[in-house]
Amino acid sequence: MKVWIGFFGTLAVLAVAGMSGVSVRLNRWVSDAHWTMAARRAPSPFDDVLIVAVDDKTLKAVDPATGKPFGRPGDWSRGRYARLLDRLALAKVVGLDILFLDESLSPEGDEALVQAVQRHGRVVLGFNLFAGVPTASDAVKAEVQHLLDRCGPVKGPDDLHAVPWYYLQPPLPRLVDAAAALGSVDVAPDPDGIFRHVPLARRCEDSLLPHFTLAMAAVADGLTPAAAVAGPPTTVALPGRQVPIPDGLLDLRPITRHGRNGVAGHPVPTVSFCDALNLPPERFRDKIVLVGETASGTTDIRPNPLDRDLRGVELNAEILANLLVVPPVRFPPANFNLLLMAMAVFMPLIFFSRLKPQAATIASALSTLVIMGCMEVGFWWRGYVTAWAPVLLGALSATLIMGLQRLMDEERQKRQIRASFSMYVAPEVVAMIAEDPSIARQEGTRQRMCVLFSDVRSFTTYCEDNEPELVVRQMREYLSAMTESVESFQGVLDKFVGDAVMALFGPFLEDDTAAAALAVACALDMLDRLARLNADWAAEDLPQFKIGVGLHYGSAILGNIGSERKMQYTALGDTVNTAARLESMTKELNARVVVSEEVRSHAAPMLDGLVEFKDLGQITVRNRARPVSVFEARRPDQEQPI
């Protein structure tokens, strides 16, 4: 098995998954599933956060100050917000999640709002980012510079994303002066439209551009946004709390839902705008208050992994919770993710190169589960968000590639085994060897077996006296019958040597003690089959065959033997030589089946009453120090003409 194919194949899958976005989408899906489960268990982080919502109730309500319905906020006088700020006088900080970029049709309302913001002293306003042009007027440049001066300088972080000055769209200059702090309201979703992170801090030239929620968190703790951002590494430093924001980006732990039941997460405590105008200031004491629109039909929809109907002001509440309350999202070092991914990839490579496919598959699955278990422990115990997708894809790809390669190798090996052993043994034995090649011991082993040799008498003369076509036909019929006989008695047809047949009895037998009895039974069956062939040939007035069979039982070397280019599964050794010598002595001994004492002693107890063994004395076999006792095997009371 080629491990390098599995390794580079897995790398290719990971590369394609990364470039196509599959890995990122899978990682988001798995992470979202984990955050959803975590949100069901987590307590609400909104004890100190409150939303004053321009909701459906407010739109339908009648404003007692005017005697008319509130209607859509775009038609409001800004004096309404001024009245609300007076009710929120005891709040720790108020964030108006509404843009006041231009003068309204009510100068009195604008002035009332400016005065209310100044009186309160802890109001945060938002500004916008849009793709402007660098050819803005001097007046616009002056307004942008005034905004940058209010935001304060960057003090330390050097990895913040830079924004051109002409992208900034500040509030009214009077509101810029009146606000306690200002922040960008811009957030960007992932490609699937879900908001999972927020640019908490950016820069424009030498000035810090804080996010709206960062400005609120800083004011709530008595700091300026610039004082709350430290680095490197870039961190939001609040009293008693450090929140890392690498590159100015805050990854969010989703915890908020819009209010529907059955959805994970917690709704943010909310008061209708129309009701807040009538509540006593004490109701808002020490609260972090967000003012924004949640009414039906609003375009300010900011889905998070928990709720696709989340409003922008609710997402800002979630950002505040991530800054002030919930544990920050943590990522393990890059080397740790690489280690997990390497383990997920290399474990299947190792298992499939050393174990059987089923065991390798189980081991790979278990190793993947262990790795995923470590990642789960890291998430639930320490809050680490690991690279789920590369680990899962790496483990799955390595397992599939190595598994398929192993199956292909085994199928190729089975084809080779079928091609090799189908010439030697019965089809059912071939199937057994194909399923477990180890039983064939192709690399070589020493095994006790019974070796059978048979030969056609006077075959040379027969070939000289008959036409080649007849010789080929009769030999095909004869050898086919002998092959069927060997296979029917669980023998291994070793080879044909001209007219001679060599067969082995013992390989692939669960109990090789029966090998001798099977070989003797096969030899007598070969005589029976030949008798039937001779009867058929006699009817056609064709030549008839006579054969002699020799058998010896003992130890022989068994395996694939041959050259690099041509191999054969065969047996070698004295047992083979002795069996061949006994076959050559059959005519001299006037017997058709000659067996050694070793064959007789093993076969006689099993064939008692079915076969008799006639003592033929001893013969001398070349390269053997002692003579061999030989016997004629025949059925009782049966004359066997030689």
Burial class (CB in 10 A: 0-12, 13-18, 19+), 477: middle
The per-residue pLDDT for 642 is 38
- Please tell me the distance from the alpha carbon of residue 199 to that of residue 184, in angstroms, as a whole number: 9
How far apart, in Å, are the Cα atoms of 297 and each of 258, 300, 301? 14, 9, 9
Helices (H), 161-243: 173-178, 212-220, 225-228
CB atoms within 10 A of CB 283: 15
Non-local (6+) Cβ contacts of 408 within 8 A are none
Burial class (CB in 10 A: 0-12, 13-18, 19+), 110: buried
- Please tell me the distance from the alpha carbon of residue 497 to that of residue 519, in angstroms, as a whole number: 19
Structure tokens at 594: 């000659």
Tell me whether strands 197-199 and 241-244 are parallel, antiparallel or unpaired.
unpaired
Q: What is the mean pLDDT of each run of 10 residues along the chain (642 residues)?
A: 80 89 92 93 93 95 90 90 96 96 90 96 93 73 92 86 91 95 94 95 93 97 93 90 93 89 87 96 96 92 94 96 93 87 91 87 92 91 88 91 82 66 56 60 78 94 93 94 92 89 87 88 95 95 95 90 75 92 92 95 91 92 83 78 41
Non-local (6+) Cβ contacts of 253 within 8 A are 35, 38, 322, 326, 327, 328, 329
Task: For residue 632, give the H/E element and its range.
Answer: strand 628-634
Give the distance between the most distant pair of CA atoms in the chain. 137
CB atoms within 10 A of CB 402: 28
Name residue 93's beta-bridge partners: 288
Domain boundaries, the chain: 1-42+327-421, 45-324, 424-634
The per-residue pLDDT for 434 is 60
The per-residue pLDDT for 423 is 54
Residues 543/474, Cβ–Cβ less than 8 Å:
yes
Q: Roughly how many angstroms between the first and final C-alpha of the chain, as a whole number?
A: 56
CATH of domain 424-634: 3.30.70.1230
Residue with tokens 């006689």: 604
